[in-house]
Chains A and B, each alone.
Chain A
Amino acid sequence: MFETAVTLDQFIQASIDTLYMVGMSLLIGSLIGIPLGIAIVVTRPGGILQNKIIYTVLNPIINIVRSVPFIILMVAIIPFTRIVVGTSIGTNAAIVPLIIFISPFIARLVENSLLEVNPGIIEAAESMGATPFQVIWHFLLPEAFGSLILSITTATIGLIGATAMAGTVGGGGVGNIAIIYGYQRFDTFAMIATVVILIIFVQGIQSSGNVLARKARKE
């Protein structure tokens, strides 16, 4: 059972690849998803920058992208991926669909977090003569901060799952080892090791997310 064709170096490299894919797509996905989430909160009817056009355009786009399962999205956008990174195989190629997958997900999570903020806080901000930017920066985001951390934690865990899927199309990372060795070559140890690595990642991320969120909520 402990016989495996996978070397320790391969496991380490795969873990690094997974973290790299998760990290990069989370970073870029957040840069797209957070502003997008803010945009749909402030432009919604009754929002501080109510704008029917922006809202009715953004809202369905997010829904459409989110309704495509990642494994299909990954394959469907291969031509686009080629244009962006020049190849459709490998870690960098996997990051492109990961970003497209996670950005609208983050946007929805951010939307939920921001909508949880007591509307009275926004009213207080407006009564002080805050500009829309100040309302977002000084009131909305700080008040939602703890919840935002949990949202990003959820997104990160979603990404770990997606990177494993990216392994099936040569995306690299621990998912790749699970498919190539664990599944195709019946290497049980590789399979178990992959699962354990993924569990450790998820547990670690969730726990740190919880700790940070508690801190942000001054609990």
Chain B
Amino acid sequence: MTMIEMRSIHKTYKRKNITTEALKEINLQVEEGDIFGVIGYSGAGKSTLVRLVNYLERPTGGKVIVDGQELDKMSDSKLRAMKKQIGMIFQHFNLLESKTIFDNVAIPLILSKKPKAEIKKRVMELLEFIGLSDKAKSYPKELSGGQKQRVGIARALASNPKILLCDEATSALDPQTTQSILQLLKRVNQEYNITVMIITHEMSVIQEVCNRVAVMEAGEIIEQGSVLDVFGHPQHPTTKSFVQTVIHNNIPESVKRTLKQTDNSRVFRLEIQGDSASEPIVNQLMKNYEVEVNILFANMTEIQETTLVIMYLQFEGAGNDVEKAIQFLVEKGANMEEVTA
């Protein structure tokens, strides 16, 4: 089932006589149960994009459909009810400094006028879930950044939402804390079956938890798909540079320099995912085909609990032996692309 859908969304800001196009022709689908990542450099429009989902920003054109309902057709009070189905966490946590951790987590329930006993039970349950039961009576300023974000997550979950929006939720945290917050988001997704949408500029965040990703640049989605596909063969230069921040994807310069190119040698980029990645295919290749294989570069990355292998191989062989070898690899599930080294 589609949880979030955007259809040809446009968003323009008018200030004095200057019109800025923040979003152009955005089409996007987030399925129920997804952890959907949106990545882009700052100013790409990703923060605006995520705010469309709970209508903190309204589109200039196009439709936003959440859980089968079109937001634009909703009255203010219906929209407020819908927002209770959508939790949100922020880069700077946005907790109430004047209230205890307990009261911070309780606030969405207080707004919904839930009975006191029910609030207490739910809040304690959530504090247990985020591992901060002992901090119920503390104030936000007594907590570390990671703890504050945990409280933010508990607060966002209080009203049992179907969707959790994360706006640069780990950008203010150190790498280790980022890891633990990402693991918590994974648990939120799995244990509560909440669809998660993550906005980030860190490819490692996408690699760690997302199953699908959209890459944004200058208000447009330039590439989207499963994380494995996008990491495996990024198309757009921006996507490539993002992927490179976590996966080395090029033949090292030192190898390039010593590389001997002959007339019958060809260089291919091999990309293989999943189970076939663990098979000894290179070994089989050398045994069964009349080709010389030189591994120029190899990288193995774990994404989405499967393995992604990227290799640069130099083949040397007579006649169509190279072709046959390539054919074999393709049959084994590899994506082969000839490159000039």
Instruction: From the candidates B80, B87, B108, name the one contacting A131 in the complex (CB within 8 A).
Output: B80
Q: Mark A103-140, 1 if CB is under 8 A from B, else 0.
A: 00000000000000010110110111111001000110
Q: Does the CB pair B111–A134 fall under 8 Å?
A: yes
Bound-state CA distance A128–B109 (Å) is 10
Secondary structure call for the A interface: helix
Q: Does B141 contact A (CB under 8 A)?
A: yes
Contacts of B83 in A (CB 8 A): 126-129
Stretch at the interface among B6-14, B36-44, B96-104, B300-308: B96-104
Interface size in chain A (residues, C-beta < 8 A): 21
A130 CB, nearest partner CB in chain B, Å: 5
Considering residues B56, B108, B111, which has the most beta carbons from chain A within 10 angstroms of its beta carbon?
Answer: B111
User: Could you say which residues of chain B place their CB within 8 Å of the CB of A126?
Assistant: 56, 83
Q: Do A216 and B94 have beta carbons less than 8 Å apart?
A: no
Give chain A residues whose Cβ lies under 8 Å from the Cβ of B139.
218
Contact call A218/B90, Cβ cutoff below 8 A: no
Residues of chain B in range 72-86 having any CB-CB distance to chain A below 8 Å: 79-84, 86
Within the assembled complex, what's the spacing in Å between the Cα atoms of A134 and B113?
11
Q: Contact partner of A145 among B81, B94, B98, B159, CB < 8 A?
A: B98
| A120-B92 CB under 8 A given contacts A127-B54, A127-B56, A143-B97 | yes
Known contacts A120-B92, A128-B83, A218-B139; A142 and B98 CB within 8 A of each other? yes
Q: Cβ of B255 < 8 Å from any Cβ of A?
A: no
Give the residue among B83, B97, B110, B141 with the most A Cβ atoms within 10 A: B97
A217 interface hit (Cβ, 8 Å): yes
Contact A218 to B94, CB < 8 A, known contacts A130-B111, A131-B80:
no
B88 contacts chain A at the CB level, 8 A cutoff:
yes
Q: Which residues on B sit within 8 Å (CB–CB) of A121?
A: 94, 96
Residues A138 and B56 in contact, CB atoms below 8 Å apart: no
Report whether A127 and B88 are in contact in the complex, using a CB–CB cutoff of 8 Å: yes
Indicate whether B107 reaches chain A with its CB closer than 8 angstroms: yes
- Nearest 10 pairs between A and B by C-beta? A129-B83, A129-B80, A120-B94, A124-B94, A127-B88, A142-B98, A129-B84, A128-B108, A218-B139, A130-B111
Please list the residues of chain A having a beta carbon within 8 angstroms of any beta carbon in chain B: 118, 120-121, 123-124, 126-131, 134, 138-139, 142-143, 145-146, 216-218
